[in-house]
């Protein structure tokens, strides 16, 4: 072989190796046919409304013009995700009326935790449907949907095809309530941190169970800065007294970051244990913290005040939440109503974000710039060697 062609040969091999190892070049769009979502109120699209009490007006006013099972004036991040993938908005698995699961199902319920709680919903606000039960529901849905699809007719129209389970996007947004409920039990920050490893063990088990049922593409949101939320600041005066330079509770956010650091490590571990899984870790914490602390620069107002609520420093009163009514002289009066312009507000009801805030967060995450690995949403099925 003469030197010139030998160099060309080596160069060719180098280009070939570069192509094989370069994440950008090797990843193709995924065409997800369905989404299966797991989580809490950040992504509940109707479960708590179907099973317990409907989200009252003015929830839903901005986009749906009526309550639509969501704790927001409009769409949630999961709605923007579905829409951007060309899929219909997800119905809650527990919603027996009018649901169409042909392109996915939503197992999230407001108040859900990863670990089952030892308190009831009326005691603590915790949903009885913790992540392990959401996983059991998914398993049941996976099996029964295929039995019914075979009956044809409307069943075939309302239920997903078998092959969708391996090509779907599996989204997760949960963990915030596991942390906040510890404080409701009067735990110290150190005590809350101490149970985080157990919470993550149980999270890990669910992801493995979904993988065993065919799940391959996982999109996992980390937990947000709960220490910046009006309800946390109102309910825990001691924690609200220890604020950072922007006005968020430092210990609560420290716990959230502690959880996120370990969640990120867990994701790295799961990539090794689940060789066919593509797992994307999405840093919504940083985005929510940026939105709240730089609200003005981003065109938003009053990030620490609920748009819809009833009085107090944060316009949040736990016994008069968004939509609360009182009866005066036989007439019902809405005393926790919406603010004038939710489109410039961050916090909808002191716990959840406005549609405008959810949309801003979604726009930042869609291209992958806050993800690990940094792949865009529509390419999140591609397994990349990043560890």
Ligand X SMILES: *[C@@H]1O[C@H](CO)[C@@H](O)[C@H](O)[C@H]1NC(C)=O
- Shortest Å distance, C-beta 12 to ligand X: 30
In degrees, rounded to 5, the angle at the alpha carbon of residue 47 between the alpha carbons of residues 361 and 55 is 75
Residues 249, 240: Cα–Cα separation, whole Å:
5
132 is annotated as an active-site residue:
no
Closer CB to ligand X, residue 23 or residue 312?
312
Euclidean distance between CA atoms 135 and 93, whole angstroms: 12
* Given the residues 27, 41, 102, 338, the one annotated as active site: 41
Give the pairing of strands 371-372 and 169-173: unpaired
Q: How far is the CB of 217 from ligand X (least distance, A)?
A: 20
Active site residue 352: yes
| Shortest Cβ 368–ligand X spacing (Å) | 7
- Nearest alpha-carbon partner for 119 in 107, 128, 131: 128
Q: Which is nearer to ligand X, 233 or 277 (CB)?
A: 233
- Does residue 373 have a cis bond before it (omega within 30 degrees)? yes
Whichever of 277 and 323 has its CB closer to ligand X, that residue is 323
- List of residues 6+ apart from 356 with CB closer than 8 A: 300, 342, 343, 344, 345
Q: Which of 95, 352, 371, 372 is catalytic?
A: 352
Joined tokens for residue 220:
């996992």
Closest CB to ligand X among 228 and 375? Answer: 375
- Active-site hit among 40, 79, 95, 349: 349
Supply the minimum distance, in Å, between the C-beta of residue 95 and ligand X: 14
Residue 268: its H or E element: helix 250-273
**CB within 8 Å of 237: residues ≥ 6 apart:** none
Calculate the dihedral angle through the C-alpha atoms of 375, 381, 382, 387, rounding to the nearest 10 degrees. Answer: 70
Residue 76 CB, nearest approach to ligand X (Å) = 19
Write down the least CB distance from residue 317 to ligand X, Å: 4
Nearest residue to 167 via CA among 28, 23, 374: 28
Helix, strand or coil, per DSSP, at residue 317? coil
Q: Active site includes 349?
A: yes
Residue among 84 and 364 whose Cβ is closer to ligand X: 364
Closest of 378, 379, 382, 281 to residue 80, by C-alpha:
378
Footprint of ligand X on this chain (CB under 6 A)? Answer: 88, 100, 102-103, 115, 117-118, 154, 157-158, 185-186, 310-312, 317, 319-320, 363-364, 367, 369
Our CB check for ligand X shows the closer of 118 and 341 to be: 118
Beta carbons of 374 and 368 less than 8 angstroms apart: yes
Which of the residues are catalytic? 41, 349, 352
């Amino acid at each position: 072989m003469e030197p010139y062609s030998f160099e060309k040969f080596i160069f060719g091999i180098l280009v070939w190796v570069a192509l094989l190892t370069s994440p950008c070049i090797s990843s193709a769009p995924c065409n997800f046919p369905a989404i299966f979502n797991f989580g809490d109120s950040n992504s509940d699209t109707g479960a708590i409304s179907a099973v317990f009490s409907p989200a009252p007006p003015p929830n839903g006013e901005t986009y749906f013009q009526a309550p639509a099972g969501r704790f927001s004036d409009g769409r949630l991040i999961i709605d923007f995700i579905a829409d951007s993938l060309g899929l219909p908005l997800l119905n809650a698995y527990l919603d027996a009326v009018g649901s169409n699961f042909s392109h996915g199902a939503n197992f999230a319920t407001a108040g859900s935790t990863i670990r089952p709680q030892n308190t009831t919903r009326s005691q603590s606000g915790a949903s009885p449907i913790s992540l392990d039960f959401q996983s059991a529901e998914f398993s049941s849905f996976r099996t029964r949907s295929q039995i019914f699809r075979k009956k044809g007719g409307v069943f075939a129209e309302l239920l997903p095809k078998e092959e969708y389970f391996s090509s779907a996007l599996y989204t997760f947004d949960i963990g915030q309530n596991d942390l906040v409920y510890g404080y409701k039990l009067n735990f110290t920050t150190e005590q809350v941190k101490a149970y985080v490893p157990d919470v993550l063990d149980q999270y890990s088990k669910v992801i493995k169970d979904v993988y065993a049922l065919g799940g391959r593409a996982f999109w996992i949101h980390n937990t947000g800065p709960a220490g910046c939320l009006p309800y946390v600041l109102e309910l825990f005066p001691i924690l609200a007294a220890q604020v950072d330079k922007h006005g968020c509770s430092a210990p609560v956010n420290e716990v959230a970051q502690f959880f996120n650091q370990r969640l990120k490590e867990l994701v790295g571990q799961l990539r090794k244990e689940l060789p066919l899984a593509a797992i994307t870790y999405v840093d919504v914490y940083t985005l929510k913290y940026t939105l709240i602390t730089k609200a003005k620069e981003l065109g938003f107002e009053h990030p620490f005040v609920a748009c819809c609520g009833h009085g107090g420093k944060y316009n949040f009163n736990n016994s008069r939440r968004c939509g609360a009514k009182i009866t005066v002289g036989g007439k019902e009066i809405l005393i926790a109503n919406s603010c004038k312009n939710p489109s410039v507000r961050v916090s909808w009801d002191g716990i959840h974000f406005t549609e405008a805030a959810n949309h801003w967060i979604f726009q930042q995450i869609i291209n992958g710039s806050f993800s690990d690995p940094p792949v865009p949403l529509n390419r999140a099925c591609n397994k990349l060697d990043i560890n």
